[in-house]
Amino acid sequence: MAERISTVDGPLVDGARTVEAAAGRIKEKIVSGAQDRLEVSRTYVSENPIQSVLVAVGVGALIGYVVGRRNS
């Protein structure tokens, strides 16, 4: 019985390692993309502070309106 388990164990371990490696690559791509977008956002806000504040106020007002209508 131990022999049968060891013959199945090899392919399962290899498959798990392959999945783990693929997940690691996907995570790196996601983190890299998020960091790039964060840098773009920071640059935009530093170059356009007034417009950024006005957009944030507008979004906040819209969210407040929608939430307020749901509670009524």
pLDDT band at 10; cut points 50, 70, 90: confident
Tally of residues, the chain: 72
Domain range list for the chain: 2-71
Q: What is the pLDDT averaged over residues 9-29?
A: 88
Indicate whether this model's pTM tops 0.85: no
**What's the pLDDT tens digit per position in 26-67?**
999 999 999 999 999 999 999 999 999 999 999 999 999 999
CA distance 40 to 55: 16
Query: Which residues make Cβ contacts (< 8 Å) with residue 45, sequence separation at least 6?
Result: 52
For residue 45, the tally of other CB atoms under 10 A from its CB is 14
Cβ burial, residue 29 (10 Å; 0-12/13-18/19+): exposed
Identify which of 44, 72, 68 has the alpha carbon closest to the alpha carbon of residue 56.
44
